[in-house]
Amino acid sequence: MPHTFAGARSLERDLRDIFGSRLQSFVVYGQHAPTPADHPGHHDAHPLVHALAIVETLTADDLRACAQRVTAWHDEGIATPLLMASHEFARSLDVFPLEFGAIIADHSVVSGPDPFSGLRIEAADLRRACEVQARSHLLHLREGFLETRGRPDALAVLIVDSAAPFAGLLASIARLQGAAADGSAVRRHAERALDVPGGIVAEVMRLATVKEISSADAVRIFPDYLDAVERLVKYVDAWTGK
């Protein structure tokens, strides 16, 4: 991740100032990987340095010291880092299998040992999390559609805000089934698995980065998008791993 190197080193220096020798491992990971702190639909307009720091201990004073630097980090294109105490890290993998699975699949160690060495996400945890996220996504789309009150411009916002979580979910399902998790491979895997109308998966996934759709196009694609998510829920619910 050459474009993140300078920002990663700058963040590492700041964290080293705060934690000293308590900073055990520091990694950066792919800009599209979700984190447990993400809110659905919230994605930054510009590429950011996303980082995970594993520390020996994490106190309220540490958090206050970090909070004072968040504005400067954001100004440098650095996302608020994910901080975890070492004793809670390994125990969190089964709670956030999608998020940590995405980080494991696309991370680089900046300093310290690789915190994921020897660890793996259990397939059962990942499948369960995929089902939870798929069902949540479906409920979100249905509720969001009602809240648009039939306004095409509001529907366009709903679709754009949901596109990145949808793309992330499809990538997680692809990884669950041993398929490649890059964009085109994820799209092909989803289209085959869900047997959806041609182009709808690609059209929504594109909005994860383009983040713009006309009101007319939003009205046009929403029925197929909703149908794809409904199929996705059924697919994950029925998948046994065999």
* pLDDT per position as a tens digit, 134-178: 999 999 999 999 999 999 999 999 999 999 999 988 988 887 777
| In-domain check, residue 116 | no
Q: How far is CA 90 from CA 40, 93, 98, in A?
A: 24, 6, 14
* C-alpha dihedral, 6 to 7 to 10 to 14, nearest 10°: -160
* pLDDT per position as a tens digit, 6-49: 788 899 999 999 999 999 999 999 754 444 544 443 444 445 78
Q: Are residues 107 and 147 in the same domain?
A: no
Q: Are residues 78 and 127 in the same domain?
A: no
Q: Are residues 152 and 209 in the same domain?
A: yes
Domain that holds residue 195: 123-238
| In-domain check, residue 153 | yes
Of 58, 84, 111, which closes a domain? 111
Task: Compute the C-alpha angle 75/77/78, nearest 5°.
Answer: 100
Number of domains into which the chain is organized: 2
Q: Are residues 94 and 169 in the same domain?
A: no
Report the chain's mean pLDDT, rounded to a whole number. Answer: 86
- Cβ–Cβ contacts within 10 Å for residue 132, how many? 12
* pLDDT per position as a tens digit, 75-95: 988 999 999 999 998 788 888
Strands of 50-55's sheet, edge to edge? 82-85, 50-55, 23-29, 107-111
Q: Are residues 184 and 149 in the same domain?
A: yes
CATH number at residue 155: 1.20.120
Q: Are residues 77 and 138 in the same domain?
A: no
| Whole-model pTM over 0.75 | no
| In-domain check, residue 174 | yes
| In-domain check, residue 118 | no
Name residues whose C-beta falls within 8 Å of residue 195's C-beta, 6 or more positions apart in sequence.
231
| In-domain check, residue 117 | no
Tell me the CB-side half-sphere exposure of residue 119, using CA atoms within 13 A: 18
Q: Are residues 67 and 99 in the same domain?
A: yes
Q: Are 173 and 201 in contact (CB under 8 A)?
A: no
User: Phi, psi (5° rounding) for residue 121?
Assistant: -85, 125
70: confidence class by pLDDT, cuts 50, 70, 90: very high
Q: Are residues 12 and 89 in the same domain?
A: yes
Which ranges of 33-177 would DSSP assign to H, the alpha helix? 60-67, 70-75, 86-89, 97-105, 123-147, 152-176
